[in-house]
A and B are shown apart, each in its own frame.
Chain A
């Protein structure tokens, strides 16, 4: 049977007392006093009819409902015995409660909804659903939650309710009431505190820190290290900051500090690091008595001291622990050698299974390693190595170890004093501790220092080479030189005999097989008995023999402490003159010469190539090289070859009886431009031809094969100033290197600069310019002057004749008729009084003489009337000449010559009168009109700067100049007058 709660609405309200009766079975009725809900108990398997009867004093009314299971909502019970247990260190809340419905005939699924709240603010900070099944039995449920905020920071409350989710039970979810709040109080207000305290957390986690102020205190700031983070309020006394993605802290941890008011400082420290990351565990034995296991610590945990990683290494077969003092010692240096544990070998046990546990506050890591003792032998290097050089090509080594090993495979590293390395393998049988093993080393070179070191590994199960032993050195003994010296000679014949310089090349160490102490030189005349000898010290590589003209055999041997080398012989033919063809030219490379020659007919023992490294010097430093038989080419190279130096190379053929000259060659490794200028002499054959002659350049200055010459010449404009050259530079290229002169033709009468430059494949050399002046004959000069003069005169005469015959036309063109002005005598006479022209400021003077030249009143004037007035100043008796050009037309600056004028001066009425008689355009009639327009006017010069005009100089030029101008004008008039008079005639 289930209990159902039925509820209904009362319908229309009456003031009368109404009671209800609820009948859900025909026989089962219950009365409900003034309620609109009632409980019924029934087993609901099908539809049920429910009758609700409302009864009051006026009567009753019954309503009938039919309900099915679908219409009824299942409301699960409120969880019982709810208990919350906090774990402050892990910030975890654990919730326990009991749930169950005894009336349930079958289990039903429900959901517990759990809410966590900050009690002080009644703020829900977490809601979670917990799915479960309820049945008739009471069951205990458990749920836990880790808070992001330390639980001490503020009071936390938890409540829980049940929600039916079983679709078989009902169509809509019914939920129970919330359980009573279970509160976990935060820190009390007795003192100020910070949370969490001294936590160790993983890098990358998010963490909230809070500060809880005590009574009477207020939180001022809350900082993470030196970082100010957004602060959230958990309650009146509590504030929190959250640091996301925590970075690794340093060794002393990171401080979180809370400043309070009144001043007080709180703090907590957080250590941020990583869990252990130890890996690559490996175990081995070095002495078959102890097993050493070592590993890589992997990523640093960043946690130290009490938070550091602790190690335990357990051998699982025996169950024994290894000693890991060094790994667990916090004072040990943090190097890779720190991470190892030692485990003593257990007698009779060959297989070992190790388990390494590495643990710190943030986690634990385990690593396994299994080993067979004899497959992981890492031997020590030999504790003692002795070496004994017993012969010239072999030595003995003695090795021993402090511990015993089974069969070992070993390696020698042999290093010569030339740093050549060689590795040789050998095996050693079972080794007892401190027993000496002997190893013979052969195939060594005589008189060579060797350093030996060795390393070994287990022969049966190779695991690792030991480290190298210390190096031991010894030197093998000497042997007699094995190879004959390379000998050559330089012969200088004199009147009395032949001086033979016998030269040899020192034996390389590989052939000397010891330290050469001297050289033995012997010689004898061919086919004669009697041998002469000489000794040369080891410091020299040549000796000079003074021989007669006989044929000689000379032998040279190198001698060391053990013996002498095979004899090396050369033959000297006393009366034999070496002849060879003209040297052929060869081209070289910067490093040397690539030589080839035709095979010698008598050649039986190869060829000798000979050259001088310093051909310019007295001791030419003769070099030679032997070429094997049947080989007719070689490359000679030397660092001593220099560009621009001519090398002579001789090839000798070698036969049984003699060495004979086969071929001579000359060449340069690299051609350069000649280094000396060509000295030129010039000879002028005529004013247009010059012959240049020059001398040879010395061979040592050629620096290459001369391919030809270039002749440059250029005419000079100013011989003294060399820079002022002009004209085109001409060049003549002479491709024949034997030419020593050239004739330059088609030159002009001028100074020429000639330069001759030799050139090689390396370029053009320098030149010495030479100048030569080419001068014409006096007759030519005269002709050059007279002919143009004569032509000019002739043209002038022709022009004169032409102009005379066509004079009318010329006059019309250049001197047309000018209208005649009518000037009467009264008008022309100078009127007494002052001129109105203010500029015409002539000081009062009285002309005492006036001549009128060619000016008769009323008479026609052809061109212009010119009046020359001679005025005698009555005051001082000086005479002023005044020339007046009287023109009825344009008279722009018609002014008498006057001194510089004072513009303020009162105009002379006489002058005014004079100008008033003038007609036509008179732009400068009034000084006041133009003087002010002139820039920079001052009173003294106000008149200067008049408008520009053909006659403006009349004002600007001084008096004398004006006179000159007058005379010029006068002459021009005379010419026109002449023309006009000629016309009249």
Chain B
């Protein structure tokens, strides 16, 4: 009996921890989305890019737009998110470096905003990874770092823009994903408790 109670408590703790993790990930994704959206405009203006810039044919940036997302399982979604945020973190680091090289020293505010976003993306990638581990899923394979040499200025500008745009897109979708997982986790925890209550009454 005592073992059963302890087991229930552990399950409750795990459920609570998961719920907390989902909430944290959701909040992070929300912040990343909001900041990325703001930076997108500043970046575009600073680089003299037009609003209707064609971002096709820029390789190496995970694209958030896909019609198959609904077909994926939650595990697959988490894994995709984890892989995308890890890749976007790496790419955003490159963008920041390029900005430091190419922009004026007066753009400290913009640099600070990029640095802040970079830290949040890193945290989001790590949180997603932790969620995968907590749920006992396999982590996505770490992508090999590709250092693209000889990119022209314009290509760098476009790629940087795409990284921020896609990051905003991924973060927005991740907000929904984490919110859904959080709700499901609560439902499941509630259901289990209900079943146990009924069982104990009998």
Contact = CB atoms under 8 A, between A and B. Distances in A.
A251 B157 contact: no
B121 to A, nearest CB: 23
A306 B101 contact: yes
Interface residues of A, number: 28
A681 interface: no
Nearest to B49: A255
Nearest to A223: B50
A263 B152 CA distance: 20
Given A251-B102, A305-B101, A259 B54 contact: yes
A305 B157 CA distance: 16
B72 interface: no
Contacts, number: 65
Residue among A250, A253, A266, A267 with max Cβ neighbours from chain B (10 Å): A267
Interface in A936-954: none
B56 A267 contact: no
A306 B158 CA distance: 20
Interface in A68-106: none
Contact of A225 (B48, B107, B155): B48
Interface in B106-135: 106-107
Interface string B19-61: 0000000000000000000000000001111100110110000
A334 interface: yes
B9 interface: no
Interface string A260-271: 000111111100
A264 B155 CA distance: 13
A332 interface: yes
B54 A265 contact: yes
B105 interface: yes
Residue among A251, A254, A304 with max Cβ neighbours from chain B (10 Å): A251
B56 A264 contact: yes
Given A268-B152, A330-B105, A252 B157 contact: yes
Contacts of B158: 265, 267
A267 B46 contact: no
Contacts of B48: 225, 250, 252-255
Given A252-B157, A264-B54, A267-B158, A197 B152 contact: yes
A254 B154 CA distance: 10
A604 B59 CA distance: 111
Contacts of A266: 154
B10 interface: no
Nearest to B43: A252
A268 B57 contact: no
Contacts of B47: 252, 255
A226 B50 contact: yes
B154 A332 contact: no
A306 B156 CA distance: 15
Contacts of B104: 251, 304
A817 interface: no
A194 B49 CA distance: 17
Contacts of A197: 152
A266 B153 CA distance: 11
B17 interface: no
A272 to B, nearest CB: 12
B103 interface: yes
Nearest to A253: B153
Contacts of A226: 50
Contacts of B57: 264-265
A213 to B, nearest CB: 14
Nearest to B153: A269
Nearest 6 A/B pairs, CB to CB: A267-B154, A269-B153, A265-B54, A251-B104, A198-B153, A252-B47
17 contacts: A198-B153, A226-B50, A252-B46, A255-B47, A255-B154, A259-B54, A265-B53, A265-B54, A265-B56, A265-B57, A266-B154, A267-B158, A269-B157, A304-B102, A304-B103, A333-B105, A334-B105
Interface of B: 46-50, 53-54, 56-57, 101-107, 152-155, 157-158
Given A264-B54, A304-B102, 7 more contacts: A251-B107, A253-B153, A255-B47, A266-B154, A269-B152, A306-B101, A334-B106
